[in-house]
Amino acid sequence: MKVPSVLAIVVCVSPLLLCACESQQQMVDEMQPKAVDVAQKRGAFELNCPAATAEVLSKEMMQTAAPTMRYAPPERAEYTVGVSGCGKRATYLVVCAQGGTGCVAGGARNETH
């Protein structure tokens, strides 16, 4: 029986690692419209400004804790979204779970005038 060389292992595993990174970025990009919509709706309500607009300030894939025997948390994307309108601005932290049905704009808003 022949033992595979380290080079052969690296050549076989590298594309898998690159695909994993790319797919995480794709997930973040795919969930972004939902995150922006959730933040825009909450901002429009809280700022009392139906014309408020939203933009992503930052985005990243959350690192999940190691799964336990009972529970493996879903991967989540986290966005910081700025909402502005009617002379007011606010930021929201929005979290979207992979395979979930929507996103949540959690916590209190940070508003500036």
pLDDT tens readout for residues 21-71: 457 788 889 999 999 999 999 999 999 999 999 999 999 988 666 666 676
Pick the CATH number of 32-112 from 3.10.450, 3.30.420, 1.10.10, 2.60.120: 3.10.450
Any residues with CB less than 8 A from the CB of 79 and at least 6 apart, and which?
A: 32, 35, 36, 39, 56, 58, 59, 93, 94, 95, 96, 103
pLDDT, position 3: 54
Rounded to two decimals, what is the model's pTM? 0.70
Can you tell me whether residue 55 is helix, strand or coil?
Answer: strand
- In contact, 56 and 34? CB cutoff 8 Å: no
Query: Measured between alpha carbons, how far is 76 from 79 in angstroms, rounded to an integer?
Result: 10
